[in-house]
Chains A and B, each alone.
Chain A
């Protein structure tokens, strides 16, 4: 069975500081990996995805993530956080085309001025 673990439930960083959100997955085959962001009361917005190829993927809003197969990780990073980045972040894993996604528990990011 596939699973996703986001070890950090809450993270607080100062505006302008760097950010890394951790994601570990368990999947029996080649995973498709995603990071989504959700603002309160809103739907999900895709930040980036990894299907194959270059293990460092660039996303929107200055985010990037690195797929490390040996560590079963897909951590999300941003070099300088903005106050508008405060939100809930979800890592997800899926399989072949058309399959559902399994989500991690989410990490709530708070940004200090």
Chain B
């Protein structure tokens, strides 16, 4: 099946620094990727839609200047958490949809990145 990778799998940083998380589709092209955030013992909440060749679309309440998204190529999207604070500590998961014939939407999820901000 299709594979989506994320790097790093975990990161610890100091408050005020910026952290970049990469999401790659390894064996298919993805013009769209999605970034989700998951707090402990909670569900996944969509943060933004990353679009290759255009600006990302952010969900209501998500600060676009804080969570910078760049869809650099058809296989790579990056999420940069700028000036990170402890409340940004979370599990960040990306996904990429791949259509297969007439079956419509199938999302492939990355393994997630655990961010801890001290």
Contacts and interface: CB of A to CB of B under 8 A. Distances in A.
Given A42-B111, A43-B112, A99 B105 contact: yes
A96 B43 contact: no
A99 B95 CA distance: 11
B93 A94 contact: no
Contact of B49 (A34, A100, A104): A100
Interface string B67-101: 00000000000000000000000000101010100
Nearest to A99: B105
B43 A104 contact: yes
Contact of B114 (A34, A41, A49, A95): A41
Give the interface residue-count category, chain B.
Answer: 20 to 34
B103 interface: yes
Contact of A97 (B34, B45, B105, B109): B105
Contacts of A43: 93, 109-112
Interface in A82-100: 90, 94-100
B61 interface: no
B56 interface: no
B105 A106 contact: no
A49 B108 CA distance: 12
Interface in A41-93: 41-44, 46, 49, 51, 90
Nearest to A49: B106
A73 B41 CA distance: 23
B91 to A, nearest CB: 8
21 contacts: A32-B104, A32-B105, A34-B107, A41-B114, A43-B93, A43-B110, A44-B44, A44-B109, A51-B104, A51-B105, A90-B43, A90-B44, A95-B105, A97-B97, A98-B31, A98-B105, A99-B97, A101-B34, A101-B95, A103-B43, A106-B42
Given A43-B112, A99-B97, 10 more contacts: A42-B112, A43-B110, A44-B44, A49-B106, A96-B104, A99-B105, A101-B46, A103-B43, A104-B43, A106-B43
Interface of B: 31-32, 34, 41-46, 49, 93, 95, 97, 99, 103-107, 109-112, 114
